Structure 1
Amino acid sequence: MAQVSTGGSEFDRDTAVTPLSPGLHAAELSPGWSILHALNGGYVLALVGRALRSALPHPDPFTVSAHFLTPSRPGRAEIRTEVVRTGRTVSTGQAALVQFAEDGSEVERVRVLATYGDLDALTDDVRTSAKPPVLPPFEECFGSSDGPTDAFGDSTLLRRLNVRMDPATSGWAVGKPTGNGELRGWFALADGREPDPLSLLLAVDALPPAAFDLGIAGWTPTVELTVHVRARPAPGPLRVTLATRNLAGGFLEEDAEVWDSADRLVAQSRQLARAPRPGD
Protein backbone atom coordinates (compact mmCIF):
# COMPACT_ATOMS: atom_id res chain seq x y z
CA MET A 1 0.00 0.00 0.00
CA ALA A 2 1.19 3.52 -0.74
CA GLN A 3 2.08 5.86 2.10
CA VAL A 4 -0.17 8.85 2.72
CA SER A 5 2.05 11.94 2.64
CA THR A 6 2.23 15.36 0.98
CA GLY A 7 5.81 15.83 -0.09
CA GLY A 8 9.48 15.08 0.41
CA SER A 9 10.32 17.07 3.53
CA GLU A 10 11.41 15.48 6.80
CA PHE A 11 8.05 16.38 8.33
CA ASP A 12 6.14 14.72 5.51
CA ARG A 13 8.30 11.61 5.50
CA ASP A 14 8.19 11.23 9.27
CA THR A 15 4.42 11.71 9.50
CA ALA A 16 3.66 9.36 6.61
CA VAL A 17 1.08 6.65 7.27
CA THR A 18 0.36 3.48 5.31
CA PRO A 19 -3.27 2.32 4.94
CA LEU A 20 -3.57 -1.36 5.81
CA SER A 21 -7.35 -1.76 5.83
CA PRO A 22 -10.38 0.48 6.45
CA GLY A 23 -9.76 2.21 9.78
CA LEU A 24 -6.20 0.94 10.18
CA HIS A 25 -2.91 2.67 9.30
CA ALA A 26 0.69 1.67 9.96
CA ALA A 27 3.30 4.26 10.89
CA GLU A 28 6.96 4.42 11.86
CA LEU A 29 7.58 7.03 14.54
CA SER A 30 10.91 8.73 13.82
CA PRO A 31 13.50 9.30 16.55
CA GLY A 32 14.19 12.69 14.97
CA TRP A 33 11.40 14.47 16.88
CA SER A 34 12.27 13.69 20.50
CA ILE A 35 12.23 16.11 23.40
CA LEU A 36 14.10 14.74 26.41
CA HIS A 37 12.29 11.52 27.40
CA ALA A 38 9.74 11.12 24.59
CA LEU A 39 8.62 12.16 21.15
CA ASN A 40 7.17 15.66 20.88
CA GLY A 41 3.40 15.66 21.33
CA GLY A 42 2.82 18.02 18.40
CA TYR A 43 4.71 15.68 16.08
CA VAL A 44 2.66 12.69 17.25
CA LEU A 45 -0.55 14.71 16.86
CA ALA A 46 0.37 15.69 13.29
CA LEU A 47 0.96 12.04 12.42
CA VAL A 48 -2.44 11.03 13.82
CA GLY A 49 -3.94 14.04 12.05
CA ARG A 50 -2.64 12.74 8.74
CA ALA A 51 -4.27 9.37 9.32
CA LEU A 52 -7.58 11.06 10.16
CA ARG A 53 -7.33 13.18 7.02
CA SER A 54 -7.14 10.02 4.93
CA ALA A 55 -10.10 8.50 6.80
CA LEU A 56 -12.46 11.50 6.64
CA PRO A 57 -14.06 13.11 3.57
CA HIS A 58 -12.86 16.62 4.48
CA PRO A 59 -9.20 17.66 4.07
CA ASP A 60 -8.36 20.03 6.92
CA PRO A 61 -8.33 19.77 10.72
CA PHE A 62 -10.66 22.33 12.33
CA THR A 63 -10.43 21.14 15.92
CA VAL A 64 -8.29 18.32 17.28
CA SER A 65 -8.35 17.19 20.91
CA ALA A 66 -5.82 14.67 22.14
CA HIS A 67 -5.31 12.89 25.45
CA PHE A 68 -1.73 11.67 25.85
CA LEU A 69 -1.92 8.42 27.78
CA THR A 70 1.70 7.23 27.71
CA PRO A 71 4.88 8.69 26.15
CA SER A 72 5.30 7.77 22.49
CA ARG A 73 8.58 6.13 21.49
CA PRO A 74 10.38 5.80 18.16
CA GLY A 75 9.38 2.72 16.22
CA ARG A 76 6.41 0.88 14.81
CA ALA A 77 2.88 2.06 15.55
CA GLU A 78 -0.68 1.51 14.40
CA ILE A 79 -3.32 4.21 14.11
CA ARG A 80 -6.90 3.03 14.35
CA THR A 81 -9.48 5.47 13.06
CA GLU A 82 -13.25 5.58 13.24
CA VAL A 83 -15.61 7.88 11.37
CA VAL A 84 -18.08 9.22 13.93
CA ARG A 85 -20.16 11.46 11.67
CA THR A 86 -19.99 13.00 8.23
CA GLY A 87 -21.85 16.11 7.11
CA ARG A 88 -21.82 18.57 4.27
CA THR A 89 -19.35 21.04 5.79
CA VAL A 90 -17.59 19.07 8.52
CA SER A 91 -16.88 15.49 9.51
CA THR A 92 -15.82 14.05 12.85
CA GLY A 93 -13.62 11.08 13.60
CA GLN A 94 -11.60 9.55 16.39
CA ALA A 95 -8.27 7.77 16.42
CA ALA A 96 -6.01 5.83 18.74
CA LEU A 97 -2.26 5.42 18.27
CA VAL A 98 -0.91 2.20 19.75
CA GLN A 99 2.58 0.77 20.00
CA PHE A 100 3.80 -2.63 21.10
CA ALA A 101 5.78 -3.69 24.16
CA GLU A 102 8.59 -6.23 24.00
CA ASP A 103 6.17 -9.00 24.93
CA GLY A 104 3.89 -8.02 22.05
CA SER A 105 1.19 -6.41 24.20
CA GLU A 106 -0.44 -3.22 22.98
CA VAL A 107 0.20 0.13 24.64
CA GLU A 108 -2.11 2.98 23.70
CA ARG A 109 -0.18 6.24 23.45
CA VAL A 110 -2.76 8.86 22.46
CA ARG A 111 -6.53 9.06 21.90
CA VAL A 112 -7.83 11.78 19.55
CA LEU A 113 -11.24 13.20 18.67
CA ALA A 114 -11.25 15.62 15.73
CA THR A 115 -13.50 17.53 13.37
CA TYR A 116 -12.32 18.23 9.82
CA GLY A 117 -13.60 20.61 7.15
CA ASP A 118 -12.34 22.63 4.19
CA LEU A 119 -10.43 25.78 5.15
CA ASP A 120 -10.68 27.10 1.61
CA ALA A 121 -14.49 27.11 1.89
CA LEU A 122 -14.56 29.44 4.91
CA THR A 123 -15.89 32.98 4.55
CA ASP A 124 -13.62 36.02 4.63
CA ASP A 125 -15.55 37.61 7.52
CA VAL A 126 -13.14 38.22 10.45
CA ARG A 127 -14.11 40.13 13.59
CA THR A 128 -11.44 39.89 16.24
CA SER A 129 -9.78 41.78 19.06
CA ALA A 130 -6.69 39.55 18.83
CA LYS A 131 -3.51 41.26 17.67
CA PRO A 132 -0.41 39.66 16.18
CA PRO A 133 2.66 39.68 18.42
CA VAL A 134 5.41 42.19 17.73
CA LEU A 135 8.72 40.33 17.46
CA PRO A 136 12.22 41.41 16.50
CA PRO A 137 13.23 40.26 13.02
CA PHE A 138 13.85 36.53 12.67
CA GLU A 139 17.64 36.92 12.47
CA GLU A 140 17.73 39.03 15.67
CA CYS A 141 16.02 36.38 17.80
CA PHE A 142 17.77 33.58 19.70
CA GLY A 143 18.14 30.07 18.30
CA SER A 144 18.79 26.92 20.32
CA SER A 145 22.56 27.22 19.81
CA ASP A 146 22.86 30.88 20.83
CA GLY A 147 22.55 30.56 24.60
CA PRO A 148 25.14 29.39 27.12
CA THR A 149 22.86 26.56 28.26
CA ASP A 150 20.68 24.04 26.49
CA ALA A 151 17.54 23.32 28.48
CA PHE A 152 16.65 20.40 26.21
CA GLY A 153 19.86 18.40 26.37
CA ASP A 154 20.34 16.28 23.25
CA SER A 155 16.76 16.58 22.04
CA THR A 156 16.69 15.73 18.34
CA LEU A 157 13.63 17.95 17.78
CA LEU A 158 15.89 21.01 17.78
CA ARG A 159 17.56 19.85 14.56
CA ARG A 160 14.22 19.54 12.74
CA LEU A 161 12.95 23.02 13.64
CA ASN A 162 14.10 26.59 13.19
CA VAL A 163 12.70 28.20 16.33
CA ARG A 164 13.97 31.67 17.18
CA MET A 165 12.98 33.10 20.55
CA ASP A 166 12.23 36.75 21.31
CA PRO A 167 15.10 37.99 23.53
CA ALA A 168 12.53 39.75 25.75
CA THR A 169 11.10 36.36 26.79
CA SER A 170 14.35 34.36 26.80
CA GLY A 171 15.83 35.33 30.16
CA TRP A 172 15.11 31.83 31.49
CA ALA A 173 17.87 30.50 29.21
CA VAL A 174 20.49 32.42 31.24
CA GLY A 175 18.89 31.90 34.63
CA LYS A 176 16.80 35.07 34.59
CA PRO A 177 13.13 34.13 33.99
CA THR A 178 10.66 37.01 34.13
CA GLY A 179 8.11 35.08 36.20
CA ASN A 180 5.34 36.10 33.78
CA GLY A 181 4.98 32.68 32.15
CA GLU A 182 5.08 34.13 28.63
CA LEU A 183 7.16 33.12 25.60
CA ARG A 184 7.24 34.44 22.04
CA GLY A 185 9.15 33.25 19.02
CA TRP A 186 9.38 32.42 15.33
CA PHE A 187 8.68 28.91 14.07
CA ALA A 188 9.73 27.26 10.81
CA LEU A 189 10.75 23.79 9.73
CA ALA A 190 14.53 23.56 9.34
CA ASP A 191 14.39 22.10 5.82
CA GLY A 192 12.37 25.06 4.52
CA ARG A 193 9.03 23.28 4.13
CA GLU A 194 6.24 25.86 4.12
CA PRO A 195 3.55 25.67 6.81
CA ASP A 196 0.22 23.97 6.22
CA PRO A 197 -2.70 22.94 8.47
CA LEU A 198 -1.04 19.70 9.61
CA SER A 199 2.21 21.42 10.56
CA LEU A 200 0.20 23.85 12.69
CA LEU A 201 -0.50 20.87 14.98
CA LEU A 202 3.25 20.76 15.55
CA ALA A 203 3.76 24.53 15.76
CA VAL A 204 1.51 24.97 18.80
CA ASP A 205 3.73 22.55 20.76
CA ALA A 206 7.16 23.52 19.43
CA LEU A 207 8.28 26.33 21.75
CA PRO A 208 9.88 25.68 25.13
CA PRO A 209 7.32 25.23 27.92
CA ALA A 210 5.89 28.36 29.52
CA ALA A 211 6.99 26.92 32.88
CA PHE A 212 10.57 27.85 31.96
CA ASP A 213 9.67 31.54 32.26
CA LEU A 214 8.36 30.77 35.75
CA GLY A 215 11.82 29.52 36.66
CA ILE A 216 10.87 25.82 36.52
CA ALA A 217 13.00 23.79 34.11
CA GLY A 218 12.62 20.17 33.05
CA TRP A 219 10.31 17.83 31.18
CA THR A 220 6.75 19.17 30.93
CA PRO A 221 4.64 16.29 29.53
CA THR A 222 1.32 17.11 27.90
CA VAL A 223 -1.77 15.54 29.44
CA GLU A 224 -4.35 16.99 27.03
CA LEU A 225 -4.02 19.27 23.99
CA THR A 226 -6.77 20.90 21.94
CA VAL A 227 -5.90 22.74 18.73
CA HIS A 228 -8.18 24.98 16.67
CA VAL A 229 -6.99 25.56 13.10
CA ARG A 230 -8.50 28.83 11.88
CA ALA A 231 -6.99 29.38 8.42
CA ARG A 232 -4.57 27.95 5.90
CA PRO A 233 -1.24 29.69 6.68
CA ALA A 234 0.52 31.89 4.17
CA PRO A 235 4.10 30.98 3.22
CA GLY A 236 6.87 32.08 5.54
CA PRO A 237 7.85 31.68 9.18
CA LEU A 238 5.10 31.68 11.78
CA ARG A 239 4.97 33.70 14.99
CA VAL A 240 3.97 31.77 18.11
CA THR A 241 3.02 33.05 21.55
CA LEU A 242 2.72 30.82 24.59
CA ALA A 243 1.45 31.76 28.03
CA THR A 244 0.33 30.24 31.31
CA ARG A 245 -1.63 31.98 34.03
CA ASN A 246 -2.08 29.24 36.58
CA LEU A 247 0.25 26.56 37.89
CA ALA A 248 -1.42 24.69 40.73
CA GLY A 249 -1.31 21.18 42.11
CA GLY A 250 1.61 20.28 39.86
CA PHE A 251 -0.22 21.09 36.59
CA LEU A 252 -0.38 24.16 34.38
CA GLU A 253 -2.31 25.29 31.32
CA GLU A 254 -0.56 26.64 28.22
CA ASP A 255 -2.37 28.83 25.71
CA ALA A 256 -0.78 29.22 22.28
CA GLU A 257 -1.51 31.47 19.32
CA VAL A 258 0.04 31.02 15.88
CA TRP A 259 0.15 33.92 13.41
CA ASP A 260 1.22 33.72 9.76
CA SER A 261 3.16 36.13 7.56
CA ALA A 262 -0.11 37.81 6.51
CA ASP A 263 -0.87 38.74 10.15
CA ARG A 264 -3.69 36.20 10.42
CA LEU A 265 -4.39 34.12 13.50
CA VAL A 266 -4.14 30.67 11.91
CA ALA A 267 -4.18 28.40 14.99
CA GLN A 268 -4.95 28.48 18.69
CA SER A 269 -4.45 25.84 21.34
CA ARG A 270 -4.78 25.08 25.02
CA GLN A 271 -3.07 22.23 26.77
CA LEU A 272 -2.87 20.87 30.28
CA ALA A 273 0.64 19.82 31.17
CA ARG A 274 2.35 18.42 34.21
CA ALA A 275 4.87 20.81 35.73
CA PRO A 276 8.46 19.63 35.84
CA ARG A 277 9.41 17.65 38.93
CA PRO A 278 12.84 17.17 40.52
CA GLY A 279 14.65 14.31 38.81
CA ASP A 280 12.66 14.54 35.53
Structure 2
Amino acid sequence: MEFDRHIALEGGDHEWTAELSEGWVVGGGVNGGYQLAVVGSALAQAAPGKPDPIAVSAYYLSAARPGPATVRTRVLRDGGSVATLSADLEQDGDARITVLATYGDLGALPEDVRTTATPPDLPPLQECVPNSMAPEEIRSIAPLMDRFDMRFDPRHVGWAVGQPSGNGELQAWFRLVDEREPDPVSLLMVVDALPPVTFDLGMFGWAPTLELTAHVRSHPAPGWLRVRHATRNLAGGMFEEDCEVWDSAGRLVAQSRQLARQPR
Protein backbone atom coordinates (compact mmCIF):
# COMPACT_ATOMS: atom_id res chain seq x y z
CA MET A 1 0.00 0.00 0.00
CA GLU A 2 1.17 3.52 -0.77
CA PHE A 3 1.08 4.75 2.81
CA ASP A 4 3.20 1.84 4.03
CA ARG A 5 5.79 2.52 1.35
CA HIS A 6 5.90 6.20 2.29
CA ILE A 7 6.54 5.53 6.00
CA ALA A 8 8.92 2.61 5.39
CA LEU A 9 12.11 2.51 7.47
CA GLU A 10 15.47 0.83 7.12
CA GLY A 11 17.99 0.17 9.85
CA GLY A 12 17.36 -0.75 13.44
CA ASP A 13 18.81 -0.55 16.96
CA HIS A 14 17.06 2.80 17.54
CA GLU A 15 18.40 4.48 14.39
CA TRP A 16 16.38 4.39 11.20
CA THR A 17 16.49 5.94 7.75
CA ALA A 18 13.42 7.06 5.81
CA GLU A 19 12.67 8.73 2.51
CA LEU A 20 10.13 11.52 2.99
CA SER A 21 7.87 11.48 -0.05
CA GLU A 22 7.22 14.59 -2.14
CA GLY A 23 3.59 13.47 -2.30
CA TRP A 24 3.09 14.75 1.27
CA VAL A 25 4.15 18.33 0.65
CA VAL A 26 1.81 21.10 1.77
CA GLY A 27 2.67 24.77 1.50
CA GLY A 28 6.28 25.26 2.47
CA GLY A 29 7.13 21.80 3.78
CA VAL A 30 6.22 18.17 4.36
CA ASN A 31 2.95 17.60 6.22
CA GLY A 32 3.44 17.37 9.97
CA GLY A 33 1.05 14.45 10.45
CA TYR A 34 2.92 12.40 7.87
CA GLN A 35 6.23 13.17 9.60
CA LEU A 36 4.67 12.10 12.89
CA ALA A 37 3.55 8.80 11.35
CA VAL A 38 7.11 8.15 10.12
CA VAL A 39 8.44 8.77 13.64
CA GLY A 40 5.53 6.80 15.09
CA SER A 41 6.45 3.81 12.95
CA ALA A 42 9.99 3.86 14.38
CA LEU A 43 8.72 4.21 17.95
CA ALA A 44 6.42 1.22 17.40
CA GLN A 45 9.59 -0.89 17.22
CA ALA A 46 11.40 0.70 20.17
CA ALA A 47 9.80 -1.22 23.06
CA PRO A 48 8.95 -4.93 22.56
CA GLY A 49 5.29 -5.72 23.09
CA LYS A 50 4.26 -2.06 23.00
CA PRO A 51 3.56 -1.28 19.32
CA ASP A 52 0.79 1.28 19.63
CA PRO A 53 0.92 5.05 20.19
CA ILE A 54 -1.21 6.17 23.12
CA ALA A 55 -0.06 9.75 23.75
CA VAL A 56 2.33 11.51 21.40
CA SER A 57 3.56 15.11 21.60
CA ALA A 58 5.64 16.60 18.81
CA TYR A 59 7.44 19.93 18.53
CA TYR A 60 8.14 21.09 14.99
CA LEU A 61 11.53 22.79 14.88
CA SER A 62 12.05 23.40 11.16
CA ALA A 63 10.32 22.63 7.88
CA ALA A 64 11.06 19.17 6.50
CA ARG A 65 11.58 18.64 2.78
CA PRO A 66 11.17 15.55 0.61
CA GLY A 67 14.21 13.28 0.68
CA PRO A 68 16.33 11.26 3.10
CA ALA A 69 15.74 11.57 6.84
CA THR A 70 17.04 9.88 9.97
CA VAL A 71 14.88 8.89 12.95
CA ARG A 72 16.60 8.22 16.27
CA THR A 73 14.58 6.73 19.12
CA ARG A 74 15.31 6.33 22.82
CA VAL A 75 13.58 4.35 25.57
CA LEU A 76 13.20 6.57 28.63
CA ARG A 77 11.28 4.00 30.67
CA ASP A 78 9.82 0.61 29.84
CA GLY A 79 7.80 -0.94 32.59
CA GLY A 80 4.36 -2.40 33.16
CA SER A 81 1.79 -1.74 30.47
CA VAL A 82 3.37 1.34 28.87
CA ALA A 83 6.75 2.66 27.78
CA THR A 84 7.88 6.27 27.65
CA LEU A 85 9.88 6.98 24.50
CA SER A 86 11.48 9.88 22.68
CA ALA A 87 12.54 10.41 19.08
CA ASP A 88 14.00 12.98 16.72
CA LEU A 89 13.60 13.23 12.96
CA GLU A 90 16.61 14.87 11.32
CA GLN A 91 17.69 15.93 7.85
CA ASP A 92 21.24 17.03 7.01
CA GLY A 93 22.04 17.20 10.71
CA ASP A 94 19.12 19.53 11.48
CA ALA A 95 16.26 18.42 13.72
CA ARG A 96 12.86 18.72 12.06
CA ILE A 97 10.67 17.43 14.87
CA THR A 98 11.29 16.10 18.36
CA VAL A 99 8.78 13.74 19.95
CA LEU A 100 7.90 12.46 23.43
CA ALA A 101 5.49 9.53 23.49
CA THR A 102 3.74 6.88 25.55
CA TYR A 103 3.38 3.53 23.79
CA GLY A 104 1.62 0.34 24.79
CA ASP A 105 -0.70 -2.38 23.49
CA LEU A 106 -4.12 -0.88 22.78
CA GLY A 107 -5.58 -4.35 22.32
CA ALA A 108 -4.78 -5.20 25.94
CA LEU A 109 -6.54 -2.18 27.44
CA PRO A 110 -9.95 -2.47 29.16
CA GLU A 111 -12.88 -2.17 26.76
CA ASP A 112 -15.01 -0.08 29.11
CA VAL A 113 -15.94 3.12 27.23
CA ARG A 114 -17.88 6.02 28.75
CA THR A 115 -18.19 9.22 26.78
CA THR A 116 -20.36 12.26 26.33
CA ALA A 117 -18.72 13.01 22.98
CA THR A 118 -20.89 12.84 19.87
CA PRO A 119 -19.64 11.93 16.38
CA PRO A 120 -19.71 14.45 13.54
CA ASP A 121 -23.15 14.76 11.95
CA LEU A 122 -22.07 14.05 8.38
CA PRO A 123 -24.41 13.53 5.42
CA PRO A 124 -24.09 10.25 3.49
CA LEU A 125 -20.94 9.88 1.41
CA GLN A 126 -22.73 10.42 -1.88
CA GLU A 127 -24.06 13.78 -0.66
CA CYS A 128 -20.65 15.10 0.38
CA VAL A 129 -18.10 17.06 -1.66
CA PRO A 130 -14.99 15.10 -2.75
CA ASN A 131 -11.58 16.67 -2.32
CA SER A 132 -11.00 16.09 -6.04
CA MET A 133 -13.19 19.16 -6.56
CA ALA A 134 -10.89 21.41 -4.52
CA PRO A 135 -9.87 24.64 -6.30
CA GLU A 136 -6.65 24.39 -8.30
CA GLU A 137 -4.95 27.02 -6.13
CA ILE A 138 -5.51 24.76 -3.10
CA ARG A 139 -4.38 21.57 -4.83
CA SER A 140 -1.24 23.28 -6.13
CA ILE A 141 -0.03 24.06 -2.59
CA ALA A 142 -1.19 20.73 -1.13
CA PRO A 143 -0.28 17.71 -3.31
CA LEU A 144 -0.86 15.58 -0.20
CA MET A 145 -4.60 15.83 -1.00
CA ASP A 146 -3.98 13.20 -3.69
CA ARG A 147 -3.10 10.74 -0.92
CA PHE A 148 -6.68 10.66 0.42
CA ASP A 149 -10.29 10.31 -0.52
CA MET A 150 -12.00 13.01 1.55
CA ARG A 151 -15.69 13.83 1.33
CA PHE A 152 -16.46 17.20 2.91
CA ASP A 153 -19.71 18.12 4.61
CA PRO A 154 -21.40 20.52 2.14
CA ARG A 155 -22.13 22.85 5.05
CA HIS A 156 -18.39 23.26 5.60
CA VAL A 157 -17.02 23.97 2.12
CA GLY A 158 -18.11 27.57 1.60
CA TRP A 159 -14.43 28.56 1.84
CA ALA A 160 -13.83 26.76 -1.47
CA VAL A 161 -16.12 29.19 -3.29
CA GLY A 162 -15.15 32.35 -1.43
CA GLN A 163 -17.85 32.07 1.24
CA PRO A 164 -16.24 30.78 4.46
CA SER A 165 -18.69 30.40 7.32
CA GLY A 166 -16.43 32.10 9.88
CA ASN A 167 -17.22 29.35 12.40
CA GLY A 168 -13.78 27.76 12.26
CA GLU A 169 -14.96 24.20 11.67
CA LEU A 170 -14.32 21.52 9.02
CA GLN A 171 -15.52 17.94 8.90
CA ALA A 172 -15.27 15.15 6.36
CA TRP A 173 -15.32 11.45 5.64
CA PHE A 174 -11.75 10.22 5.24
CA ARG A 175 -9.99 7.24 3.70
CA LEU A 176 -6.54 6.67 2.25
CA VAL A 177 -6.63 6.71 -1.53
CA ASP A 178 -5.85 3.01 -2.03
CA GLU A 179 -8.36 2.02 0.68
CA ARG A 180 -5.65 0.99 3.13
CA GLU A 181 -7.43 0.35 6.41
CA PRO A 182 -6.63 2.67 9.32
CA ASP A 183 -4.42 1.61 12.23
CA PRO A 184 -3.04 3.42 15.30
CA VAL A 185 0.10 4.75 13.55
CA SER A 186 -1.87 6.04 10.56
CA LEU A 187 -4.12 7.96 12.96
CA LEU A 188 -1.10 10.12 13.82
CA MET A 189 -1.29 11.33 10.22
CA VAL A 190 -5.09 11.57 10.05
CA VAL A 191 -5.26 14.13 12.87
CA ASP A 192 -3.34 16.56 10.62
CA ALA A 193 -4.76 15.59 7.22
CA LEU A 194 -7.64 18.00 6.62
CA PRO A 195 -6.99 21.54 5.34
CA PRO A 196 -6.20 24.05 8.10
CA VAL A 197 -9.37 24.97 9.92
CA THR A 198 -8.47 28.62 9.27
CA PHE A 199 -9.74 28.11 5.71
CA ASP A 200 -13.23 28.35 7.25
CA LEU A 201 -12.19 31.74 8.64
CA GLY A 202 -11.25 32.98 5.16
CA MET A 203 -7.52 32.64 5.85
CA PHE A 204 -5.80 30.55 3.18
CA GLY A 205 -2.30 29.17 2.85
CA TRP A 206 0.17 27.04 4.73
CA ALA A 207 -0.30 27.06 8.51
CA PRO A 208 2.95 25.70 10.05
CA THR A 209 2.44 23.55 13.13
CA LEU A 210 4.40 24.51 16.24
CA GLU A 211 3.25 21.69 18.54
CA LEU A 212 0.84 18.77 18.18
CA THR A 213 -0.36 16.34 20.83
CA ALA A 214 -2.36 13.26 19.80
CA HIS A 215 -4.16 10.70 21.95
CA VAL A 216 -4.96 7.38 20.29
CA ARG A 217 -7.75 5.60 22.16
CA SER A 218 -8.35 2.35 20.28
CA HIS A 219 -7.59 0.29 17.20
CA PRO A 220 -9.91 1.75 14.55
CA ALA A 221 -12.43 -0.49 12.82
CA PRO A 222 -12.01 -0.99 9.06
CA GLY A 223 -13.72 1.46 6.74
CA TRP A 224 -14.27 5.19 6.46
CA LEU A 225 -13.26 7.56 9.24
CA ARG A 226 -15.14 10.69 10.24
CA VAL A 227 -12.84 13.61 11.04
CA ARG A 228 -13.73 16.98 12.59
CA HIS A 229 -11.42 19.99 13.05
CA ALA A 230 -12.38 23.10 15.00
CA THR A 231 -10.78 26.22 16.44
CA ARG A 232 -12.08 28.72 18.98
CA ASN A 233 -9.25 31.18 19.32
CA LEU A 234 -6.81 32.99 17.07
CA ALA A 235 -4.41 35.33 18.87
CA GLY A 236 -0.86 36.53 18.46
CA GLY A 237 -0.72 35.13 14.95
CA MET A 238 -1.41 31.61 16.20
CA PHE A 239 -4.46 29.37 16.51
CA GLU A 240 -5.32 26.05 18.13
CA GLU A 241 -6.85 23.25 16.09
CA ASP A 242 -8.76 20.48 17.86
CA CYS A 243 -9.37 17.23 15.99
CA GLU A 244 -11.57 14.20 16.61
CA VAL A 245 -11.36 10.99 14.58
CA TRP A 246 -14.28 8.54 14.69
CA ASP A 247 -14.18 5.07 13.16
CA SER A 248 -16.82 3.15 11.20
CA ALA A 249 -18.05 1.55 14.43
CA GLY A 250 -18.92 4.97 15.86
CA ARG A 251 -16.03 5.10 18.33
CA LEU A 252 -13.84 8.10 19.09
CA VAL A 253 -10.47 6.53 18.26
CA ALA A 254 -8.16 9.57 18.23
CA GLN A 255 -8.07 13.16 19.46
CA SER A 256 -5.51 15.88 19.02
CA ARG A 257 -4.77 19.52 19.65
CA GLN A 258 -2.15 21.51 17.82
CA LEU A 259 -0.89 25.05 17.98
CA ALA A 260 -0.09 26.51 14.57
CA ARG A 261 0.80 29.82 13.02
CA GLN A 262 -1.93 31.52 11.04
CA PRO A 263 -1.51 31.05 7.28
CA ARG A 264 1.29 33.04 5.71
Category of TM-score, reference length = shorter chain: over 0.9
The answer to whether the 8 Å contact 1:142/1:166 transfers is: yes
Which whole-Å CA distance do the structure 1 matches of 2:217 and 2:74 have between them? 24
1:34 matched to 2:21? The reply is no
Q: Deviations over 1:146-205 (max 9, x none)?
A: 245542425321111111111101111111111110111011100110000011011110
SS of aligned partner of 2:258: strand
Which whole-Å CA distance do the structure 2 matches of 1:37 and 1:140 have between them? 33
2:156 is matched with 169
From 24, 30, 38, give the equivalent of 1:47: 38
Unaligned 5+ runs, structure 2: none
SS of aligned partner of 1:254: strand
- Alpha-carbon deviation of 1:126? 1.1
Which whole-Å CA distance do the structure 2 matches of 1:221 and 1:114 have between them? 21
2:221 is matched with 234
**One-letter code aligned to 1:114:** A
From 117, 140, 162, give the equivalent of 1:130: 117
How many pairs align?
263
Q: How does 1:1-280 map to 2 (within 5 A)?
A: 9-20=1-12, 22-57=13-48, 58-100=50-92, 106-148=93-135, 150-277=137-264
SS of aligned partner of 2:99: strand
- Normalised to the residue count of structure 2, the TM-score between the two structures is 0.97
**One-letter code aligned to 2:191:** V
- Alpha-carbon deviation of 1:144? 2.2
Which whole-Å CA distance do the structure 2 matches of 1:115 and 1:230 have between them? 12
Which whole-Å CA distance do the structure 1 matches of 2:18 and 2:64 have between them? 12
Judge which range, 88-97 or 156-165, deviates more.
Answer: 156-165
Which whole-Å CA distance do the structure 2 matches of 1:143 and 1:184 have between them? 12
Which whole-Å CA distance do the structure 1 matches of 2:159 and 2:138 have between them? 9
Unaligned 5+ runs, structure 1: 1-8, 101-105
Q: Relative to total residues, which structure has the larger strand share, 1 or 2?
A: 2
The answer to whether the 8 Å contact 1:147/1:174 transfers is: no
> Percent sequence identity over matched residues?
59
Stretches (4+) displaced over 6 A: none
Which whole-Å CA distance do the structure 1 matches of 2:201 and 2:248 have between them? 29
- Alpha-carbon deviation of 1:135? 0.4
The answer to whether the 8 Å contact 1:138/1:186 transfers is: yes
- Alpha-carbon deviation of 1:18? 1.1
